[in-house]
Amino acid sequence: MTKPQTWIAANWKMNKTPKETRAYFEEWLRVGGESAWEFGPDVSLVFFPPATSIETVAQSRNTKPGFMFGSQNAYFEKSGAYTGEISAEVVRELGGQFVLLGHSERRTLFGEVDAVLAKKVAFVQSLGLTPMYCIGETLAEREAGKTGEVLKRQLKEGLSLAKKDQPLVVAYEPVWAIGTGKVATPEQVKETHAQVRQELEALGLMNISILYGGSVKADNAGALSKIPNVNGFLVGGASLECQSFRAIAMATAAGV
């Protein structure tokens, strides 16, 4: 079986105006020169800007093959009376390829539940876009020995309508590691990613890229990328600076 693709994804959350987005990619080109987007054939970049900056990212991307983007959420209908929601159809029209779904901030702050996420995953796939589906346990759940159970439930329910022959990426982000500077240990990452792989295969979902997220930085990306079943990263804080995100991509490319 071929190795799953490696993705380095930037989750900008509710940061960066269109003007700041333009400045980010201008700097990216200045720093990277001709090979600005190149981190080897096995590593692709995905940017998740806030919805209001997606078009600016689309204009900045320069049609490079390893440079993709998408939204941080999308509703499970193309259009209609859904005030405030994001349409995946717009992402597609702008040339985006991904939709991030089920991030822990969406789950905890905005009440997203697995049953709704399942519909979103299926809808995003039906448009030919790739859902990047996030899962992760809280500190209380890990300390209570419930990590396996929580992840299994999130995978089973949230992916219950996923098509086996359509693209899908899973991001494992322990909630206690997001934005805290507390990265999971290599042992925890190894054990949990192996569990996630096993659960995905039990669901008939084969060769899926499993990303790790939670306080990823340039100085831990290289070592984490060498762990079996780690197929890249979902990066929050360290993706906001062009130089630190590029450093993560470079450290990962050196490791795969």
- For residue 108, state whether it binds ligand PGA (rule: CB under 6 A): no
Residue 171 · residue 159 · CB < 8 Å: no
The span of 49-57, 112-120, 137-145, 209-217 binding ligand PGA (CB under 6 A) equals 209-217
Q: Is 179 in the site for ligand PGA (CB under 6 A)?
A: yes
Query: Annotated catalytic residue: which of 105, 112, 173, 199?
Result: 173
Residues 256, 193 contacting (CB under 8 angstroms): no
Minimum Å gap between C-beta 141 and ligand PGA is 17
Annotated catalytic residue 193: no
Q: Bridge-partner residues for 67, per DSSP?
A: 45
Is 178 one of the binding residues for ligand PGA (CB under 6 A)?
yes
Is 143 tagged catalytic?
A: no
Which one is catalytic: 103, 105, 112, 199? 103
Q: Return the residue nearest ligand PGA (CB atom).
A: 236
Instruction: Please identify, among the stretches 24-32, 34-42, 144-152, 211-219, the one whose residues bind ligand PGA according to the rule CB under 6 A.
Output: 211-219
How far apart CA 247 and CA 219 sit, in angstroms, is: 9
Residues 84 and 47 sit within 8 Å (Cβ to Cβ):
no
Helices (H) and strands (E) in the chain, counts: 10, 8
Site for ligand PGA in 136-175 (CB under 6 A): 173
Q: Is 52 helix (H, G, I), strand (E, B) or coil?
A: helix
- Token pair for 171: 């991001």
Residue 42 has a CB neighbour count (10 Å cut-off) of 14
Q: Which helix (H) or strand (E) covers residue 108, if one does?
A: helix 104-110
Name residues contacting ligand PGA, limited to 231-250 (CB under 6 A): 234-238
184 binds ligand PGA, rule: CB under 6 A: no
Contacts with ligand PGA by CB under 6 A lie at 11, 173, 178-179, 213-216, 234-238
Catalytically active residues, by annotation: 103, 173
